[in-house]
Structures are given as structure tokens and as C-alpha cells.
């Protein structure tokens, strides 16, 4: 039977678990379920590779922790040839594997570009929805975190063998879209991206801001006439016109629909440029302008089943108070839909199109309540996919005060931030003298690789649920837990490997020693399949990010302390070259999962 590298790696752990289970039978006449036996990586403070904690098994052994651990250790050492030794610290049983195990692991996997990835597809179909922009403004800093999370999580789930579809639900209809349309109709004088020289999404965003200025002015005027703020907000002429425009759009008014299509096309062209620069992509686009219609049909279905109810004003609601939530609006009295309406329609459409058992929504934590409601509504409607709805919630991103100016004065534009990062990378790289021997095209590519790599790594290394502060200067530091530090490690390794004839690599295990620093790097490499599996389970790219930082840190320690190409023992030299190749492959692979490029030289 042919095993994948990850299966071979897991085999040693399985072998240890099986032997521990047998030890209980033979030494203590006790049955222990192998599935419940847990092995941990041995703490750096102690000698060993894997640790088994015996405290919770003393009832089975009927002996003290040290006796229990020693008897199990002796049994396992006799029956697992890969175990060189063991030691016992109170109830912690630490196993050390022999060097031949690590040599064999290194030789088998050092050149595998897909090491750690699942070799076989699972039957699990997963859809990851991310980005979900509005077509009334450009993408901003929050969208960057959203896109990077969605793309990285999709890559990680694919690496675990799942069938993943990446989709983007575009919010291309609704009152907010009508606001920018109305402002353009009133104030635009036919302005286009071509005539203005602006990216289409920036131009439409400009008119959304213009609407807001007009609306606030009208509210202020009505308040000065004695209306309350709440009344003024409802009676301002511009908001009434925007609502009328939405009704005309839903009724299919020809001129309204023409302007809507034209302005959306401007925005899509702008988004495409931003997505390409950010390095994210999608397999499928859904549009609210289509899905809300199906949502309305499902609302009618829910009414007929008495899942929903209608109020006197004609609006449709669901009562979720018995479930600890509240009443939720599904259709307004005038028949227009709300966000939840189109989300119900989209969920149905996704399942019909792809039959996904799991549907992951990458959306900010301000929508936590919304997705509880969506899942509950789908359950009450009897939808088979309801249990698979999962909200991958993430925290807001902030910038230090004054670090960057935003185009509109309120949010940081994604295009501006990426340009700023590339420029900062250029300044830092030139200052550090890391530009020798590169032509202008190579330099520009390097600045983009470092700048965007710094941005992506800084945002992805943090656990998604956490609110975070993004500091552009801190992210481009070539030391510490940053993208550029890891990218530089990759480039350093590639410079070593340019002087190596890779085809002549072989090692005689009898004529070689394993240095503690070599073993440390190999052990981290060995953990990669388990890290990919854990990152998929947790849906956290930070698991990958922090793993690859540990790998780069460990490799640099090895590099600074031990000679590689000047090592006189050819077997030792080849082992270290294999270690370089394996580490470079792993850095490239891990960063690839995060959507980050690595430079060959810098």
C-alpha cells in the first residue's frame, strides 16, 4: 500500500499509540481506547520528541505516575524500533526517536513540492464566500482582511483535500446603491471614469460621499425648522428620492436599470484591478440583484407554511423570541427586500448549484447576529443545508492615528494602502542595500512582493476573531515575526542552492551525525502536515503563518551556527543541503497557502 507523506508521518504517532495501548494490556491488564490516547510534542525544556501524559490513566495502571510511565516506556522501546530512548519527568513520558527515523524522513520528503498536502480528495464540498463588496464605493482596509482570510482559508481547505468553491456575493442593489446613483444623476453632468481619469469604483464612491453631504445638509435644515432628528432623516428629500429610485429599479424601469448597469460596470472594472493586485480570485460570482428574487419566493413559501407572518402594513416577519432572538423583518411593507431576504435566496442557490455540505461566510463580527438569524430561519424552513452554515467572523482592522490618509477621510482605501505598502517596501529595501544585481523590472516585482507580502502576513498571522491594529512600518521590518523576514530567509536559502548540483545529493546514514540544530529544523518540517490539518480544522491562516515563522527562525539559527557548503564531510554537507531545499519548499508552500509570493533573490 502506498502512503502519502502525511500518512507516513502520522504512522509513527499511530505506531506509538498502538504500542501504548498494548502496554496497558500487557503491563496492567487494562483496556485503553487507542483513539483517546493523546501524544504531544515534547516541551523544548526536556529531551524527547513525543510526550504521553499518564496522570489520567492511573486508575487503569493502579500504580503511581512514575511507575506507570516507566513500565509503558520500557514496553514501547522494546516494540517500536524507531524509539531510541525515553525519560520520565513525574507523569510525563517523553520518547526520543532514533536518528535513522529523521534521516529517512528527510530523504523521502525534501524535494516534495506538495509535502503535507492531502494526496486524496475528500467527498466534502465546501463553499467559501468572501469579499462581498457593495457597488457604491471602493474596497477598503476591512475588505483587504476579508479577502485575504477568505482566499487563505480556501487554499488551506483545498490542501486538506476538500472540494472548495470560492464565491463572491456582490451587493449590487439596495438603497445604498441608489444613493450613489441619485447623486450622479443630480450632480454628475455625465462624468465617466474615462472623462475623470478615476478608477470606476472610486468615481462611484465619490458620488456616494456627495449624496451623504447633501443628505446631512437637508437633515440639518429640517431640524432647524423644528423636526426631530429621526423625523428629519425620514423626510429629507434626497432619501425619499433614493427610496423612490429603489422602487423604480425593482419595478424594472428602463432608464433606472440602464444607469444602474452602467455604474455597476464601472465599479466591476475597478474591483478587478484591485483583486488582481491583491492576488485573490473567485470561482463563482453571485449578485444580490438576482438572489433577492429567489429570496422573495422563499419568503412566500415561509408564509404559506406559517413560518413567517404578515403585519398590518404588509411587511413580513419571523418571530424568533422563543429562540432567544427577536422579531426579524424579511420584506418591507412596500414589498422591497432587505439583506436577509437575499441571503436566504443565495443560500438556496448555492446549494442548488454546488450541493455544498458546508457554506462558510467570511464576514465581519458586526454581523454575528445576522448569521445566527440566517441559520435559524433556514432550519425553520427545513433546509437540509442549514446545519452547514458557518460564519467565519473576524474583527475590525485599525491603523495607528495619522499613519495613512484615506481618500474620503473616513475609511482607508485598499488601493491607496497597497500602493503605500509597495512604496514603503521600496524605501526599506533600498535603505538596507538589498537591491544589488536586479534590473528595474525585477526591482519593481521585488517591491510588490515584499510590500504586499508584509501586508498579507501581518493581517493573517492574527487569529481572525481578534480586532487588530495594522502598523505599516512594523509590518515591513526585516527582523521578527514579519513577512519580509520569512521572505528574506527563502531568498537566502535560494542563494545557497544556486551553488549546488542537486542531482548528486545522497547521504550514507552510517557516516553522519545529527546535530541538535539540524534536528530542530527537521522536527518543525515534520509537523507541517499536522499544521495544515489543524489550520483547516480551526479555519485560521494564523496557524500556518506562525508555523512558518518558527521554521524560518529555527533555520536561521541553524544557518548562523553551522557551515553548509564548506562542510568537509560530504554526507553532512548533503544532509544540510537537503535541509535547505526542504525548508525553502516549505516556506514557499506555506506562503502559497496564505497567498503570499516569495522572492528568489533579494
Cell triple for 41: 510534542
Q: Which pLDDT belongs to residue 4?
A: 42
CB contact set of 83 (below 8 Å; sequence gap of 6+): 16, 76, 77, 95, 96, 97, 98
Q: Which pLDDT belongs to residue 435?
A: 73
Domains recognised in the chain with CATH numbers? 5-97 (3.30.1360.70), 173-282 (no CATH), 415-593 (1.10.730.10)
Q: What percent of the chain has pLDDT over 90?
A: 80
Q: Give 329's strand partners.
A: 317
Q: Which pLDDT belongs to residue 602?
A: 81
Cα separation values, 487 from 161, 331, 383, Å: 27, 51, 46
Alpha-carbon gap, residue 117 to 140, rounded angstroms: 33
Q: Which pLDDT belongs to residue 125?
A: 96
Q: Which pLDDT belongs to residue 8?
A: 47
Cell triple for 327: 422579531
DSSP, collapsed to helix, strand or coil, labels residue 102 as helix
Alpha-carbon gap, residue 13 to 145, rounded angstroms: 36
In terms of Cα–Cα distance, which of 525, 588, 596, 577 is closest to 554?
525
Cell triple for 289: 440583484
Q: Which pLDDT belongs to residue 503?
A: 66
Around Cβ 150, how many Cβ atoms within 10 Å? 27
Alpha-carbon gap, residue 445 to 368, rounded angstroms: 39
Q: Which pLDDT belongs to residue 504?
A: 66
- List % helix, strand, coil for the chain (3-state, nearest 5): 60, 10, 30
pLDDT digits (tens, 9 = 90+) for 52-74: 999 999 999 999 999 999 999 99
Q: Which pLDDT belongs to residue 39?
A: 93
DSSP, collapsed to helix, strand or coil, labels residue 562 as coil
Q: Spell 227-240 as b/e; 16+ CB within 10 A means b.
A: beeeebbeebebbe
Residues in the chain predicted with pLDDT less than 50, given as ranges, are: 1-8, 403-408
Q: Which pLDDT belongs to residue 5?
A: 40
Cell triple for 80: 517500536
Q: Which pLDDT belongs to residue 410?
A: 57
Amino acid at each position: 500500500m502506498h502512503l502519502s507523506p502525511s500518512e507516513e508521518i502520522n504512522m509513527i504517532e499511530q505506531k506509538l499509540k498502538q504500542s501504548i495501548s498494548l502496554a496497558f494490556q500487557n503491563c496492567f491488564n487494562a483496556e485503553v481506547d487507542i483513539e483517546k490516547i493523546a501524544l504531544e510534542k515534547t516541551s523544548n525544556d526536556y529531551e524527547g520528541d513525543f510526550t504521553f501524559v499518564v496522570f489520567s490513566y492511573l486508575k487503569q495502571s493502579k500504580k503511581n505516575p512514575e511507575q506507570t510511565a516507566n513500565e509503558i516506556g520500557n514496553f514501547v522501546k522494546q516494540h517500536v524500533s524507531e524509539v531510541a530512548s525515553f525519560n520520565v519527568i513525574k507523569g510525563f513520558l517523553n520518547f526520543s526517536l532514533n536518528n535513522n527515523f529523521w534521516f529517512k524522513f528527510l530523504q523521502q520528503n525534501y524535494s516534495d513540492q506538495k509535502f503535507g498536502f492531502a494526496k486524496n480528495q475528500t467527498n466534502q464540498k465546501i463553499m467559501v464566500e468572501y469579499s462581498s463588496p457593495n457597488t457604491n464605493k471602493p474596497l477598503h482596509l476591512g475588505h483587504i482582511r476579508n479577502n485575504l482570510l477568505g482566499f487563505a482559508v480556501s487554499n488551506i481547505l483545498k490542501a486538506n483535500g476538500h472540494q472548495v468553491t470560492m464565491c463572491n456575493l456582490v451587493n449590487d442593489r439596495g438603497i445604498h446603491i441608489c444613493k450613489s446613483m441619485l447623486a450622479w444623476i443630480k450632480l454628475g453632468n455625465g462624468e465617466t471614469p474615462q472623462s475623470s481619469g478615476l478608477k470606476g469604483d472610486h468615481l462611484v464612491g465619490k458620488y456616494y460621499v456627495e449624496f451623504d453631504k447633501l443628505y446631512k445638509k437637508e437633515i440639518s435644515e429640517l431640524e432647524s425648522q423644528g423636526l426631530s432628528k429621526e423625523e428629519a432623516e425620514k423626510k429629507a428629500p434626497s432619501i425619499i428620492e433614493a427610496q423612490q429610485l429603489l422602487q423604480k429599479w425593482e419595478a424594472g424601469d428602463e432608464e433606472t436599470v440602464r444607469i444602474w448597469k452602467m455604474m455597476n460596470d464601472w465599479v466591476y472594472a475597478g474591483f478587478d484591478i484591485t483583486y488582481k493586485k491583491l492576488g485573490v480570485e473567485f470561482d463563482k460570482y453571485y449578485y444580490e440583484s438576482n438572489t433577492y428574487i429567489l429570496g422573495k419566493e422563499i419568503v412566500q413559501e415561509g408564509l404559506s407554511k406559517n413560518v413567517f407572518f404578515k403585519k398590518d402594513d404588509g411587511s413580513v416577519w419571523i418571530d424568533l423570541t422563543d429562540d432567544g432572538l427577536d422579531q426579524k423583518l424579511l420584506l418591507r411593507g412596500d414589498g422591497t427586500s432587505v439583506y436577509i431576504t437575499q441571503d436566504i435566496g443565495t443560500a438556496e442557490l448555492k446549494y442548488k448549484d454546488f450541493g455544498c455540505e458546508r457554506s462558510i461566510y467570511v464576514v465581519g463580527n458586526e454581523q454575528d447576529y445576522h448569521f445566527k438569524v440566517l441559520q435559524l430561519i433556514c432550519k425553520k424552513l427545513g433546509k437540509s443545508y442549514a446545519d452547514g452554515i458557518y460564519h467565519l467572523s473576524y474583527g475590525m482592522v485599525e491603523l495607528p492615528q495619522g499613519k495613512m490618509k484615506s481618500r474620503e477621510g473616513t475609511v482607508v482605501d485598499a488601493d491607496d494602502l497597497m500602493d503605500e505598502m509597495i512604496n514603503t517596501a521600496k524605501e526599506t529595501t533600498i535603505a538596507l542595500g538589498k537591491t544589488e544585481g536586479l534590473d528595474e523590472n525585477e526591482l519593481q516585482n521585488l517591491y510588490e512582493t515584499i510590500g504586499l507580502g508584509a501586508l498579507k502576513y501581518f493581517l493573517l498571522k492574527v487569529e481572525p476573531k481578534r480586532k487588530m491594529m495594522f502598523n505599516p512600518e512594523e509590518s515591513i521590518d526585516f527582523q521578527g515575526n514579519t513577512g519580509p523576514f520569512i521572505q528574506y530567509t527563502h531568498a537566502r536559502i535560494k542563494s545557497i542552492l544556486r551553488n549546488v548540483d542537486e542531482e548528486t545529493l545522497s547521504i550514507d546514514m552510517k557516516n553522519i551525525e545529527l546535530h541538535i540544530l539540524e534536528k530542530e529544523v527537521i522536527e518543525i518540517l515534520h509537523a507541517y502536515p499536522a499544521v495544515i490539518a489543524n489550520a483547516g480544522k480551526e479555519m485560521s491562516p494564523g496557524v500556518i503563518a506562525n508555523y512558518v515563522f518558527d521554521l524560518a527562525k529555527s533555520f536561521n539559527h541553524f544557518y548562523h551556527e553551522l557551515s553548509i557548503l564548506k562542510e568537509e564531510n560530504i554526507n553532512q554537507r548533503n544532509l544540510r543541503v537537503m535541509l535547505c531545499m526542504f525548508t525553502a519548499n516549505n516556506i514557499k508552500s506555506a506562503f502559497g497557502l496564505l497567498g503570499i509570493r516569495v522572492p528568489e533573490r533579494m
